[in-house]
Chains A and B, each alone.
Chain A
Amino acid sequence: MPPAPIFATLDPDRAFLERAPLLVRDFVTGLFPPSLQWLAGNLLAVVVIVLFFASLFALLTLAERKILGRIQNRPGPNRTGPAGLLQPLADAVKTLVKEDIVPRAADQVLHFLAPVVLVSLALMAFAVLPYGRHLVPVELDAAVLYFFAAGAATELAVFMAGWASRNKYSLLAAMRALAQLISYELPLLLSVVPVVMLAGTLSTTGIVAAQAGWTYGVIPHWHVLTPWGAAGFLLFFVSALAESNRSPFDLPEAESELIAGHLTEYSGFKYALFFMAEYFGMTALCGMGVTLFLGGWQAPCAFLEFIPSYAWFFAKLLLLLGVFMWIRGTLPRLRIDQLTRFAWKFLVPLALINLGTAAFWQLSAGWSGPALQLARWLVALALVAGPFTLLGRRLSAGVAPRTYRYAA
């Protein structure tokens, strides 16, 4: 076999960097007898995912604090190591040596299980994401279904934590978490349905493959660049914020109202596990968003394909995570009734209508000629913008900036 070029020539599939992870895998599994190679390969994937995302989590906590700091005109953590880079390490040491306090009245078993269950469920979601051209840990036909099932179960662990703590704030947080779960699971799934419908598959690899190719070599065929895809992406993004309990939907944790919500009675490493699970969930959802709408590991332009596919995936992932942090630094929190109203009266109808928009887009795929193409775009845009405006007006009825008088 001739040595593969470092950068892609004609076939990016053969580039050395693109294949590097596979070569490492083959090397490691090659150390095992052939009958155990499948097991070694899978275990290797598990270990790599856990280690990689745990270190990504550590970096993300630092990045979030740095970005929030800069948004707030502060330097952020900068005392531990050069530019604060060792801060995650210091945090880890701190949480590990802290006393683990379990309230006497708490349900001991559930109180212990909740963080464990949460982290394991959050980790499970990583199994089906296609990180690169050849990097799918588990090829599953119903990958999307599996992903959202694992994601929805995490909320159950939050409820466990809140209920088992036997703390009033935790209980309120648990109720909020359930209400939020029921409200936001629906728009999240509905915003994904058009993607599945158009790609014709529940497999994440298939969905990425459906977004392959470029027009003129520069405009990628990502779903987000179509009217229904853009709308679906926004719906997905907002629901993902809620699903991962991030600001402005961080109601279960609402630190200004419920102390720390379901985390009130957790300390030390259990608290760190919750924190980790929050970041895992956020990362997984962003990864799914990238896969479904942003073309997965596909490069944005044809000539940029020499950069390996996993680099593109993680670049997009980090971009989305950055937007999560940016939003956290900007927005206040919704109230629980407003949150559910927003989901049921705004996101769910829009997601349903978006299904129709996607169907129209698919049916009109055969329209050719500039006039018909223009009509196709206009109709689809109207189908997206019209309901958004109307529903938005209804949702924000009675809420508007005011003008003020002055006393005589």
Chain B
Amino acid sequence: MLASGSAAAPFSSASVRPVHDEFHGDLLEVSMGPHHPSTHGVFRMMVTLDGETIVRLKPVFGYLHRNHEKLGENTTYLGSMPYTDRLDYLCSMTNNWAYALAVEKLAGLVPPERAEYIRIILAELTRLINHSGLIGFLMQDTGCSGTPLMYAFREREKVLDLFEALSGSRMMCNYQRFGGCRVDLTPAWVDSARRLVDAFPRFLDEFEALLTGNEIFMARTQGVGRLSPELAVNAGLTGPVLRATGVGHDLRKVDAYGLYPRFDFRVPIGAHGDTYDRYMIRVLEMRESVQILQQALRDLPAGPIMDPKAKLRGLRPKAGEAYGRIEGAKGEIGFFLISDGSPNPYRYRIRPPSFINLTVLEDLCLGHTVADAVIILGSIDIVLGEVDR
């Protein structure tokens, strides 16, 4: 039986209590997951239902735990780079960048200008495929028989082809290096990237025609999973989930890392913090990413792609600590490293955006139905590889 009222979430804003009277029977406990079609991997939601209304939700994760941080402390700095691909396996390029940034701070390396441009191009391409894929999955949770997902994947394939042509691998790119990038862009690559970027707004228009004005989609998402800006800030949320609540916090503007200050782009923010806002913010961010990409591909400078001081093997940074963070597609992805002067980091810590964004799941879901919980989870955008590490 349910211990009613107990185990309120740490940031609980909603207070939905189970009611016991003649109209409300017993509560029903359902274990959604770890094998459930809509938990985006092996994730489990212990939900307590009154009818179909959720009165309690306990996220259970860790099924995909693989000791990532300890592995990082036992491999060299370079050896951890391919492992970062496997955190959020949809965004390996941004994971690489965040980790490279942390090590570069630690070792005092400065990537040359061209490398910074390449990093921005790849990060924004990653944002495009992550956001469009996420929207596809969200629609899958909403009950579209796969159509938006297949459209998103169709475009993702084209970006992955670019990634493969550059880095050799479609998803596990392992492309960034401390002090620069591994392989240089060829003019042919830049041309095909430009074609892709120019064609992308057409895809977005079609995608929006399919979804944005759809009455059923609006009814399913507007007002569902409302998140207040206070709770979002207090819970440490980042990324589109935070910006959907109206907080204009984007590390590309706040930290101004890389060469982002050179680029002209805006940060869309929502007003309601509900699922529809989270969807729309992602669509608008994709449009901004297209702007950034067009500028970057236009202004791409010539030059080296590696810091001449950088060496591949035997990196032994001076003792100290560094935190490198960037605005990944899901939020702030950060790597915290402590060096004791040995070839391995003394401490290797990841700030995974989807894990921290997941902490508000219960607050978002209380009072909504099972059907809503599924799309709220979908709109948070989690990847279990990153949540469980």
Q: Which residues of A contact B (CB under 8 A)?
A: 68, 71-74, 168-169, 171-172, 175, 247-248, 250, 254-259, 328-338, 396, 398-402, 404-408
Chain A hits for B28, CB < 8 A: 168, 171
B220, A338: Cβ atoms closer than 8 Å: yes
Contact A247:B248 (CB < 8 A) given known A256-B374, A396-B215, A406-B267: no
B52, A405: Cβ atoms closer than 8 Å: no
Q: Would you list the 10 A-B pairs with minimal beta carbon distance, nearest first?
A: A407-B248, A333-B143, A72-B150, A332-B142, A406-B266, A407-B267, A256-B38, A399-B218, A332-B143, A256-B141
Task: Give the residue name and chain of the A residue nearest to B277 (CB).
Answer: A402
Interface residues as binary, B199-221 with A (CB distance below 8 Å gives 1, 0 otherwise): 00000000000101111111110
Interface residues as binary, B124-135 with A (CB distance below 8 Å gives 1, 0 otherwise): 000000000000
B250, A172: Cβ atoms closer than 8 Å: no
Q: Is residue B154 contacting chain A, with contact meaning CB distance below 8 A?
A: yes
Q: Which of B141, B144, B270, B271 has the most CB of A within 10 A?
A: B144
Give min CB distance, A36 to chain B, whole Å: 49
Cα distance, A259 to B39, chains bound together (Å): 11
Chain B hits for A408, CB < 8 A: 248
Question: 12 more A-B contacts (CB under 8 A) besides A333-B144, A407-B267?
Answer: A72-B151, A74-B150, A168-B28, A172-B52, A247-B145, A331-B216, A337-B369, A404-B270, A406-B266, A407-B248, A407-B250, A407-B268
Cα distance, A331 to B147, chains bound together (Å): 9
Contact A335:B371 (CB < 8 A) given known A396-B219, A404-B270, A407-B250: yes
Cα distance, A366 to B218, chains bound together (Å): 45
Q: Is residue B314 contacting chain A, with contact meaning CB distance below 8 A?
A: no
Q: Is residue B109 contacting chain A, with contact meaning CB distance below 8 A?
A: no
Chain B hits for A398, CB < 8 A: 222-223
Contact A402:B219 (CB < 8 A) given known A168-B28, A172-B52, A254-B371: no
Cα distance, A172 to B28, chains bound together (Å): 10
Cα distance, A351 to B215, chains bound together (Å): 21
Contact A256:B269 (CB < 8 A) given known A334-B219, A404-B284, A407-B250: no
Q: Is residue B81 contacting chain A, with contact meaning CB distance below 8 A?
A: no
B370, A258: Cβ atoms closer than 8 Å: yes
A329, B220: Cβ atoms closer than 8 Å: no
How many chain B residues have a CB neighbour from A under 8 Å? 53
Cα distance, A169 to B37, chains bound together (Å): 13
Chain B hits for A336, CB < 8 A: 52, 369, 371
Q: Is residue B140 contacting chain A, with contact meaning CB distance below 8 A?
A: yes
Could you pull out 26 A-B pairs where Cβ atoms are within 8 angstroms? A71-B147, A72-B146, A72-B151, A73-B150, A171-B28, A172-B30, A175-B52, A247-B143, A250-B143, A254-B371, A255-B37, A256-B143, A330-B147, A332-B143, A333-B143, A333-B144, A334-B216, A334-B219, A335-B369, A335-B371, A335-B372, A338-B220, A399-B219, A400-B218, A402-B280, A407-B267
A172, B266: Cβ atoms closer than 8 Å: no
Cα distance, A404 to B283, chains bound together (Å): 11
Give min CB distance, A403 to chain B, whole Å: 9
Give min CB distance, A294 to chain B, whole Å: 26
Chain B hits for A330, CB < 8 A: 144, 147, 210
Q: Which of A168, A171, A328 has the most CB of B within 10 A?
A: A168
Give min CB distance, A389 to chain B, whole Å: 14
Q: Is residue B323 contacting chain A, with contact meaning CB distance below 8 A?
A: no
Chain A hits for B218, CB < 8 A: 396, 399-401
Chain B hits for A405, CB < 8 A: 268-269, 271
A259, B37: Cβ atoms closer than 8 Å: yes
Task: Give the residue name and chain of the B residue nearest to A172 (CB).
Answer: B52
B369, A332: Cβ atoms closer than 8 Å: no
Partner of A259, one of B36, B253, B267, B268: B36
Task: Give the residue name and chain of the B residue nearest to A396 (CB).
Answer: B215
B115-162 contacts to A (CB < 8 Å): 139-147, 150-151, 154
Cα distance, A330 to B248, chains bound together (Å): 34
Chain B hits for A404, CB < 8 A: 268-271, 280-281, 284
Give min CB distance, B178 to chain A, whole Å: 32
Contact A257:B280 (CB < 8 A) given known A168-B28, A399-B215, A401-B213: no
Give min CB distance, A69 to chain B, whole Å: 9
B142, A333: Cβ atoms closer than 8 Å: yes
Give min CB distance, B42 to chain A, whole Å: 15
Q: Is residue B355 contacting chain A, with contact meaning CB distance below 8 A?
A: no
Task: Give the residue name and chain of the B residue nearest to A407 (CB).
Answer: B248
Chain B hits for A331, CB < 8 A: 143-144, 214, 216
Give min CB distance, A160 to chain B, whole Å: 20
Cα distance, A399 to B210, chains bound together (Å): 17
